[in-house]
Amino acid sequence: MVKPGRCYLVIGALAVALSALPAAAVEWTLRLDGAGPLKIGMRFDTVNKILGEHMQRVPQGERLRANCFQIEPSAQPGLLLMFVDDRLQRIDVMEEGIVSDRGIALGDPVDKVRRSYGEALRAEPEHLTVRTGGDQYAIRFGTSDSKVDTMYAGAWKQVQQPEGCQ
């Protein structure tokens, strides 16, 4: 039997242990406003802390745009994070295995995207896009040969730039 004073100690230790789980233990679902534990708008240092990473900013001289860089975290391979003015603005899915909040994955047929997102989906040549009501966030599916070949989500302005920071 656990004594009342020890019960709080055990619960506290369990809470600390759960909060220290690596980011890899989190379900990495791509949402309009982020993926896994990451939310669009987070500062670079906060993302590093959440992921338990030591990512380094791309040096200014190596960037195509001074205020923008993209980096792949080692804690979650297959994602490419875009930072603008040191804030997370877009998340790209680069490898299979990560799905959208509606279960869409790279390689899925375009018809599945249309069924999953319905009237919220806006079709454009080579892109299917869903925007939030206030146009703050979006998720975009790049398509070719009637299949999804790219997926990215984040701030509406950055989602409109299929080339990323270029």
- What are the structural domains of the chain? 22-159 (2.60.460)
Task: Write down the pLDDT at residue 14.
Answer: 39
Task: Write down the pLDDT at residue 76.
Answer: 85
Question: Kind of pairing, strands 34-35 and 147-155?
Answer: unpaired
Q: Is 147:110 a contact under the CB 8 Å cutoff?
A: yes
Task: Write down the pLDDT at residue 13.
Answer: 40
Q: Is 153:138 a contact under the CB 8 Å cutoff?
A: yes
Cβ neighbors of 129 (< 8 A, separation 6 or more) are 121, 122, 138, 139, 140, 141, 159
Question: Kind of pairing, strands 121-124 and 87-93?
Answer: unpaired
User: What φ, ψ does residue 18 adopt, rounded to 5°?
Assistant: -65, -40
Structure tokens that stand for 88 in this block? 């997370």
pTM score of the predicted model: 0.82
Element (H, E) at 141: strand 137-144
Task: Write down the pLDDT at residue 135.
Answer: 85
Task: Write down the pLDDT at residue 16.
Answer: 38
Mean pLDDT, 10 residues at a time, over the chain (166 residues)?
Answer: 49 40 63 95 96 92 92 90 97 93 96 94 92 90 95 95 85
Q: CA angle, 20 as apex, 14 and 26 as ends, to 5°?
A: 105
Task: Write down the pLDDT at residue 162.
Answer: 81
The residue written with tokens 């603005």 in the block is: 89
